Amino acid sequence: MKFDLFELAGQVAVVTGCNTGLGQAMAVALAEAGADIVGINKSAPVDTCRAVEALGRRFLDLRADLADIAVIPRLIAEAQTLTGHVDILVNNAGIIRREDALHFRVSDWDEVMAVNLKAAFFLAQALARLCIEQGRGGKIINVASMLSFQGGIRVPSYTASKSGVMGLTKALANEWAAHGINVNAIAPGYMATNNTAALQADEARNAAITARIPAGRWGKPADMAGPVVFLASQSSNYVNGYTLAVDGGWLAR
């Protein structure tokens, strides 16, 4: 059997929020498979840039706060101008706010929805327009969550945004599959990153979460590598609108 189904040489992938955590691991995995990377970050992606370049791949460093979607057309245009074409988008940047629903503030609602859902949609739209113009298809990978499937507690805007991400993944897949654009999502389970630092530090919650995961451990950023390369490569050409859980069995339980 040939394994070049996962080859990404000659492809360019935009990854948002890749200075750390899951985004960093996915950017490096895509580079390992042969893609050049365009990082869209608020903070300097120093380690990611170094890791991608050490693999002999190009890393283009674009900076933006995705809470403001006005920056998006410029970002995608700049990515195309500087790399020639863009083929893959990983909508990874995301934030979470924790508070009882009874006391949840408008600003915590708006900030989470702006980054997790609104920016993800308008980045996907910008990439799809470009892919149609380029005429060579494309791959859009959204980052969903267990809270695309479950309700969670004290995270209403996060749950709403990630449930929206899963719905949007299906909606966009339906509209763009005929253009050769695959839209899918990855729903990470409990992964050890900055995003879950508070949960990891809470001894009781940490133990309860670990006990409920069939795999018996929290996920690591590197657990995203295979799934993202699969969804970015020709291996998944007939996979449309699907949200793949990478959760150590959490949802199966």
**Between 118 and 139, CB nearer to ligand NAP:** 118
Token pair of 124 as six digits:
């996907």
**Between 34 and 51, CB nearer to ligand NAP:** 51
**Between 21 and 156, CB nearer to ligand NAP:** 21
**Between 34 and 71, CB nearer to ligand NAP:** 71
Smallest gap from Cβ 51 to ligand NAP, in A, equals: 14
Smallest gap from Cβ 120 to ligand NAP, in A, equals: 9
Quote the CA–CA distance of 121 and 117 in Å, as a whole number: 6
Smallest gap from Cβ 173 to ligand NAP, in A, equals: 19
- The three-state secondary structure class of 15 is strand
Contact 113/60 with Cβ under 8 angstroms?
A: no
Give residue for tokens 């308008």: 122
User: Contact residues for ligand NAP (CB under 6 A)?
Assistant: 16-17, 19-23, 41-43, 65-67, 92-95, 115, 143, 145, 188, 190-191, 193-196
Q: What residues pair up with 187 in beta bridges, in sequence order?
A: 245
Secondary structure, 3-state, 31-80:
HHCCCEEEEEECCCCHHHHHHHHHCCCCEEEEECCCCCHHHHHHHHHHHH
- The three-state secondary structure class of 12 is strand
**Between 132 and 209, CB nearer to ligand NAP:** 209
In the annotation, is 158 catalytic? yes
Smallest gap from Cβ 177 to ligand NAP, in A, equals: 24
Secondary structure, 3-state, 188-251:
ECCECCHHHHHHHHCHHHHHHHHHHCCCCCCECHHHHHHHHHHHHCHHHCCCCCCEEEECCCHH
Smallest gap from Cβ 161 to ligand NAP, in A, equals: 8
**Between 119 and 130, CB nearer to ligand NAP:** 119
Which amino acid, 1?
M
CA nearest neighbour of 158 among 119, 219, 109, 121: 109
Smallest gap from Cβ 61 to ligand NAP, in A, equals: 13
Torsion of CA 89, 169, 245, 53, to 10 degrees: 0
Provide the annotated active-site residues. 158
